[in-house]
Amino acid sequence: MQTISTSLAPQAIGPYSQAIKVWNIIFCSGQIGLNPETMTIVEGWIETETHQVCKNIWEVLKEAGVEYENVVKTTIFLQSLNDFAIVNEIYWQYFPHKPARSTVEVAKLPKGALVEIEVLAVL
């Protein structure tokens, strides 16, 4: 088991790792729209947050030695399913290969985030 960590993505805000690599599988913790330098949610709305989430995911994947195309499963947590269509439009830009996916509405996300995405990738 190998811990994956990069300063180019937000540091964990709890007792967990950005990602863990086991054999050829990378388990990435959920990312929210935190600016890695300020550790605050990016200004804007769901669009801005979703782009930042995907950028944060990219940095963790890159540190693990993989790319977006290596992602085989994602889980999207939304504070409101009313944002589903907007998030889909942005998500499509980063994951055009259509990995398996689940999307759920949740009551709250850390730091008041509107969206969180976790991914599972393979080497």
CATH of the domain at 43: 3.30.1330.40
- pLDDT-based confidence at residue 116 (cuts at 50, 70, 90): very high
Give residue-wise pLDDT tens across range 52-83.
Answer: 999 999 999 999 999 999 999 999 999 999 99
Mean pLDDT of the 10-38 span: 96
Look at the chain and report how many structural domains it folds into. 1
pLDDT score for 83: 98
Spell out where 58-97 has E strands.
71-78
Mean pLDDT of the 14-33 span: 97
pLDDT score for 106: 98
pLDDT score for 48: 98
- pLDDT-based confidence at residue 115 (cuts at 50, 70, 90): very high
Distance (Å) of CA 37 to CA 13, 42, 44, 50, 80: 13, 11, 17, 17, 27
Q: What percent of the chain has pLDDT over 90?
A: 98
pLDDT score for 15: 94
Which residue segment(s) compose the domain that 111 sits in? 2-122
pLDDT score for 122: 98
Distance (Å) of CA 23 to CA 20, 73, 114: 10, 17, 33
* 8 A C-beta contact, residue 41 and residue 115: no
